[in-house]
Structure 1
């Protein structure tokens, strides 16, 4: 009994009913990218994406629908937790700058001071403060529109293991402030040519029990690809393969799937969000979607009839929307299993994925509605 859950990070399918409360009225990640670029996604459309987006097509090759978020917030942790059956009723905290009451104990325990403490993009902040970091050896701390605290350091100045230890200290103090993730951001290179390395690591708050725990308790493997295990602080996973890009993620999915005989492979493809959504790069986002569509066409033949493949997203990040924040959107839902082609409608919450996985693997789970029922 093999299942594969792929989260296309930030690939939203239109504004959620409460989008106005988040400043996101009119957001539509997929719709606006397709309208601006003429993007064609023949494999996803054939599975049912065309129907999800309101276009006519032949009978879909999978079951199709969309999901409406119930949890408060529009970040990766909130979205992935809800997909796994955890509904966060309070959003994680977002800061423009972190207060001394949070930073002082982190600095005292770590024995260092920080540069920065401002909102910025990851590439911008290392270009701006990287030279000072090289001179002083002080780590760079920054945030963004997400509920995250990020610490960047040149690998030749603060090796990754030391950076991870520093982030572990920050994680312990950040819990009381409801910060969803502390993220280690190693980089390398010289001033004017800094580049982030693949050794990013996310330190999330420890989540409540999820369907992933139920699967593991029943003896099934739960194998993370990309940042999924990090988003759950490792809870509910039996193994994890971190990846640094969509390309590496797709390769890891194929390799892991080929050796998996039972359990769940739970993957996140992050470039849509980090490389293109936040940077408001419409053409780049379209190119990444086209690359995934082409890869998926080659991968589908190794998905057996009795396997379960679920494709969805965790939130939106409309690159045509103002600002650089995520957008509050519904997300697409595609289920490839047993030749079924069912109209799944609009599901009330991402937790129907958790219910579907529980149903497929024969484990008890109290929330959501299975799409296989």
Structure 2
């Protein structure tokens, strides 16, 4: 019974790509930024080849590697969560999803206001923590929705849970998702609930993402159609709009994401468990918190022995990322970077360097080949290079 556990360390980039300057990300390297912090300690990922990745020649190496490894390049045009995950699952996006650096068109806002019965505040690119500081009081007084975006393809709606009950906010986001199609088709609509009193408003853990449906079938669809399981942890269900998923659980933070993944590991199933650990990006990367990011990676690494212990004879563990978010740069947005791919299991060769792969989609092709599933995905399988 073959199982693959694919864990996305959201935003854990490992260095700029050739075209990073075109995205304003020249020199970005999330790993280097956090590795210099005194709280960074990842011996378990090091044993899987983390510091042996291409482009990290000056970083300290681990002598006795336990896994195989690759540096992944993104073939899609973009650096956002949706496109990154879609590519991991086998879709290369030739065009970036639309962004709105000057705010959303008035026609879009008018339709959203008409259908929700509420006014609109902000309509600018904004930091999620700053926007509730600057517009939270007015929102509480008026009931108007705080609508904002970022450098990514997102429309975010922030509302105080005492003003807009959480289920009502979710309904508004459903409406926004219906409106945001075609040229307005942002990758994600994000519910951003918050609580507390001014000036100490605080975002809650009840965030919810509403993604576009992937434009074609992914490895998730292929696995599901083969009568195998696709178990989703964290925001995976949201990113794929539920397509190709057989069971899912949402999580509030990395710690819960790890625990829910472990819960799935204890169950008998054949197929894929796909996990996203969002705190690296949402809590630390976007807030330029190098120390927090370093501590979060250290915490994950400390939990890895629990995960490894539960791997069965035919299980494979893959650690990767969807983009970068260098917390040491002036930008608070995602960075276009290579990502790691660390592979471990009883059937995986030790110390195999797969070099720099042309696309994240190689992961999808490899997983499908291992699970004996046929699927029309981009990418080239590297299974033959790493399987004992």
Q: Do both share a fold (TM > 0.5)?
A: yes
Map of 1:148 onto structure 2: 154
Quick check: 1:4 aligned with 2:8? no
**Aligned-pair distance for 1:322?**
2.5
The alignment partner of 2:175 has SS state of helix
The alignment partner of 1:250 has SS state of helix
Map of 2:15 onto structure 1: 14
Alignment of 1:234-313 (within 5 A): 234-313=242-321
User: Within 1, Cα distance between the matches of 2:70 and 2:313?
Assistant: 20
Map of 1:78 onto structure 2: 83
Conserved 8 A contact 1:305-1:339: no
Alignment of 1:118-157 (within 5 A): 118-157=124-163
Quick check: 1:60 aligned with 2:65? yes
Conserved 8 A contact 2:170-2:208: yes
The alignment partner of 2:186 has SS state of coil
User: Within 1, Cα distance between the matches of 2:65 and 2:381?
Assistant: 20
Map of 1:93 onto structure 2: 98
**Aligned-pair distance for 1:237?**
0.8
User: Within 2, Cα distance between the matches of 1:355 and 1:48?
Assistant: 21
User: Within 1, Cα distance between the matches of 2:239 and 2:147?
Assistant: 20
Correspondent of 1:324 among 310, 332, 349: 332
Correspondent of 1:163 among 169, 176, 186: 169
Conserved 8 A contact 2:223-2:229: yes
Gaps of 5+ in 2: none
Q: How many residues are aligned here?
A: 373
Q: CA RMSD in A?
A: 1.4
Conserved 8 A contact 2:229-2:269: no
Correspondent of 1:346 among 346, 349, 356: 356
**Aligned-pair distance for 1:36?**
4.6
**Aligned-pair distance for 1:130?**
1.6
**Aligned-pair distance for 1:173?**
1.3
CA displacement 1:265-310 (0-9 Å, x = unmatched) = 1000111111111111111111111111101123211112310111
User: Within 2, Cα distance between the matches of 1:143 and 1:66?
Assistant: 30
**Aligned-pair distance for 1:37?**
4.0
User: Within 1, Cα distance between the matches of 2:41 and 2:33?
Assistant: 13
CA displacement 1:38-93 (0-9 Å, x = unmatched) = 73310000111121133432231011111110000000001000000011111111
- After TM superposition, the score normalised by the length of structure 1 is 0.97
CA displacement 1:151-203 (0-9 Å, x = unmatched) = 01111211111111111111111112131110011122222232222211101
**Aligned-pair distance for 1:110?**
2.0
**Aligned-pair distance for 1:335?**
1.0
Distance 1:183 1:260, change over 3 A: farther
The alignment partner of 1:11 has SS state of coil
